[in-house]
């Protein structure tokens, strides 16, 4: 029986992971699940999967659930895991959204034989620290973001130096063929044409900030030079990545717009009898009309940020994630306009007190978390001030 943990089990990736496991329930033991606030859904998950350990990070919700479910171990955080879980589990899905996923991800590595990471913010801000933990604990790592899973699945027999070019595809989000008006509402911006995802990543897909993050994520995971990356718009999201090798081969990876494909592959990888989900037939209609396009930088100005990304790991990556996290929150709470997400990121990353972090290497978790708080506060204050003017 495979023991598993899901960080962020009430989110889009977390729920899909549990749906895959439900199909083969007798072969899994769910050891730990987590939520921030959604105690109603996690209560259902506890019952369905007979889970004994749960983390609820929101203080109020933690107190409520602790009183309600006396027989279950309810914890407020991911600290002291050795006291919470005996031995190691076989598989962990890291699917908390935002930089808040970094600490749990680092903490859980020692308790799992394999970790699949969907939480791209933790890879972007803390890859060096994650890598160190992976090595120390001999934990196997699989990227789950669809582009990264695709690249990962085709480069196994190659060295990084064999790669000439990597193209990531972007759907272009809900506004690809629409005017970006000044009165766009959060509900319009989260309506992704191809994927059903959490709110934060849906907004990042609409601004195309998601692709900036994915290039940083890929650069770190695969240790490939930034100059080798490119982005192409591909509205159907059928192709996830194109990798050109120096031997002339080009590998193009396609799959349906269904995150269960990378997730289930990360769960069942290496097994003889693979219980993969049933996927659709090859979609010839889409394959005949892949329709790759260059990005319209005027419409999606965040693309300019690519020029600002540093070659080496630096704290600037955290600055970028934190500014964006805060601006997306402000937009979702109707405090700023959709177009202001892009314009304010550009403004803020060019301020000397923030751009200086390009020259600083991340040292430890506390430093990254402190910087995140500082940058989010500054972003909030500066956005409010510039609004008042």
Residues that bind ligand NDP (CB under 6 A): 8-14, 35-38, 57, 95-98, 100, 118-121, 145, 195, 197-201, 259
Cα 134 from Cα 69, distance rounded (Å): 34
Q: Point out the residue whose Cβ comes nearest to Mg ion.
A: 145
Q: Which is nearer to ligand NDP, 199 or 358 (CB)?
A: 199
Q: Which long-range contacts (CB under 8 A, 24 or more apart) does 342-345 make?
A: 342/207, 342/209, 342/300, 342/301, 342/302, 343/301, 344/379, 344/382, 344/383, 344/386, 345/209, 345/302, 345/305, 345/320
Select the binding partner of residue 380 from ligand NDP, Mg ion, none (C-beta < 5 to 8 A, by kind): none
Q: Please report how close the Cβ of residue 168 comes to Mg ion at its closest, in angstroms.
A: 8
Asked if 100 touches Mg ion (CB under 5 A), the answer is no
Cα 312 from Cα 220, distance rounded (Å): 9
Q: Which is nearer to Mg ion, 85 or 144 (CB)?
A: 144
CA distance readout (Å), 2 to 24, 27, 28, 33, 262: 11, 6, 5, 15, 18
Q: Point out the residue whose Cβ comes nearest to ligand NDP.
A: 11
Q: Please report how close the Cβ of residue 141 comes to Mg ion at its closest, in angstroms.
A: 17
Q: Give, for 243, the enclosing helix (H) or strand (E).
A: strand 239-245
Select the binding partner of residue 266 from Mg ion, ligand NDP, none (C-beta < 5 to 8 A, by kind): none
Q: Give me the 146-185 binding string for Mg ion, x by CB under 5 A, dash otherwise.
A: xx--------------------------------------
Residues forming beta bridges with residue 6, ordered by sequence position = 33, 93
Looking at 51-59, 88-96, 137-145, 276-284, which segment touches Mg ion (CB under 5 A)? 137-145
Q: Which of 100, 121, 133, 145 binds Mg ion (CB under 5 A)?
A: 145
Q: Please report how close the Cβ of residue 261 comes to ligand NDP at its closest, in angstroms.
A: 11
Select the binding partner of residue 173 from ligand NDP, Mg ion, none (C-beta < 5 to 8 A, by kind): none
Q: Which is nearer to Mg ion, 3 or 219 (CB)?
A: 219
Looking at 1-9, 52-60, 144-152, 192-200, which segment touches Mg ion (CB under 5 A)? 144-152
Cα 188 from Cα 178, distance rounded (Å): 11
Select the binding partner of residue 97 from Mg ion, ligand NDP, none (C-beta < 5 to 8 A, by kind): ligand NDP
Contact present, 197 and 325 (Cβ < 8 Å) = no
Both tokens of 61, joined, read 């919700």
Q: Which is nearer to Mg ion, 147 or 325 (CB)?
A: 147
Cα 222 from Cα 158, distance rounded (Å): 11
Select the binding partner of residue 121 from Mg ion, ligand NDP, none (C-beta < 5 to 8 A, by kind): ligand NDP
Q: How many residues bind Mg ion (CB under 5 A)?
A: 3
Cα 305 from Cα 70, distance rounded (Å): 49
Q: Which is nearer to Mg ion, 147 or 317 (CB)?
A: 147
Q: 4, 16, 2: which is closest to 277 by C-alpha?
A: 16
Both tokens of 253, joined, read 């990876």
User: Where does this chain bind Mg ion (CB under 5 A)?
Assistant: 145-147
């Amino acid at each position: 029986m495979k023991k598993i943990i899901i960080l962020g089990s009430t989110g889009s990736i977390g729920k899909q992971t549990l749906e895959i496991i439900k199909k083969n329930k007798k072969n899994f033991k769910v050891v730990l699940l987590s939520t921030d606030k959604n105690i109603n859904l996690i209560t259902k998950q506890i019952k369905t999967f007979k889970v004994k350990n749960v983390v609820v990070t929101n203080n109020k919700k933690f107190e409520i659930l602790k009183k309600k479910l006396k027989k279950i171990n309810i914890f407020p955080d991911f600290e002291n895991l050795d006291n919470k879980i005996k031995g190691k589990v076989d598989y962990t899905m890291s699917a908390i959204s935002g930089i808040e996923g970094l600490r749990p991800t680092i903490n859980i590595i020692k308790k799992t034989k394999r970790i699949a990471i969907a939480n791209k913010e933790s890879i972007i801000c803390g890859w060096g620290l994650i890598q160190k933990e992976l090595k120390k604990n001999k934990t196997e790592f699989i990227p789950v973001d669809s582009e990264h899973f695709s690249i990962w699945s085709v480069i196994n027999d190659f060295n990084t130096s064999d790669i000439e070019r990597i193209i990531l595809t972007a759907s272009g989000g809900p506004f690809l063929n629409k005017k970006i008006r000044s009165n766009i509402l959060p509900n319009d911006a989260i309506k992704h044409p191809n994927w059903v995802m959490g709110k934060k990543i849906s907004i990042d897909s609409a601004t195309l900030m998601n692709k900036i993050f994915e290039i940083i994520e890929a650069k770190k995971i695969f240790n490939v030079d930034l100059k080798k990356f490119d982005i192409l718009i591909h509205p159907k999201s059928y192709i996830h990545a194109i990798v050109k090798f120096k031997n002339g081969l080009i590998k193009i990876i396609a799959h349906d717009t269904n995150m269960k494909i990378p997730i289930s592959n990360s769960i069942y990888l290496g097994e003889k009898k693979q219980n993969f989900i049933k996927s659709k037939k090859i979609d010839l209609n889409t394959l005949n009309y892949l329709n790759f396009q260059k990005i319209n930088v005027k419409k999606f100005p965040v693309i300019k940020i690519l020029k600002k990304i540093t070659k080496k790991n630096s704290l600037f990556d955290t600055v970028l994630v934190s500014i964006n996290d805060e601006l997306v929150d402000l937009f979702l709470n109707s405090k700023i306009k959709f177009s202001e997400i892009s314009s304010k990121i550009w403004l803020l990353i060019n301020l000397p007190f923030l751009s200086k972090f390009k020259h600083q290497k991340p040292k430890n978790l506390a430093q990254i978390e402190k910087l995140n708080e500082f940058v989010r506060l500054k972003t909030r204050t500066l956005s409010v001030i510039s609004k008042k003017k």
